[in-house]
Amino acid sequence: MLDDRRLHEPQQPPATPTETEDFERLTIIAPYAGAGSVSLEFHRQRLRELGFMLAGRIERHQFQQVDGPDYPVEMFDGRPYYAATFIRPIPSSSDQG
């Protein structure tokens, strides 16, 4: 069984817009919560080893797609999905060299 207690402890991402631009973001969605969903995928893809950390809570969301002036389109037939966003710092050019 995977120990994902640290996964569910949100890290504090930077608060200012300028600082948040220095992060790569990856959002994983799943139709259900619990074992075998978002947290399992985090471990399966070895995201911690790649430098990612949880940016907030894993919560249910409804998704809409907006394309131009038309009204939003419900995604997934309006069904809610659990979503978690993971972040990792983008190295500055001075870090790379």
pLDDT tens-digit readout, 59-75? 999 999 998 888 999 99
The answer to whether residue 10 is domain-embedded is: no
Which residue segment(s) compose the domain that 27 sits in? 17-89
**Other beta carbons less than 10 A from residue 42's beta carbon:** 22
Give a yes or no: residue 36 inside a domain.
yes
Residue 82 covered by a domain: yes
Q: Please tell me whether residue 40 adopts helix, strand or coil conformation.
A: helix
**What is residue 16's predicted lDDT score, i.e. its pLDDT?**
47
Q: Which residues pair with 25 in a beta bridge?
A: 87
pLDDT level of residue 85 (50, 70, 90 thresholds): very high
Tell me what pLDDT residue 91 has: 80
In the chain, the number of structural domains is: 1
| H/E stretch holding 44 | helix 38-44
The residues pairing with 73 across neighbouring beta strands, listed in sequence order, are 65
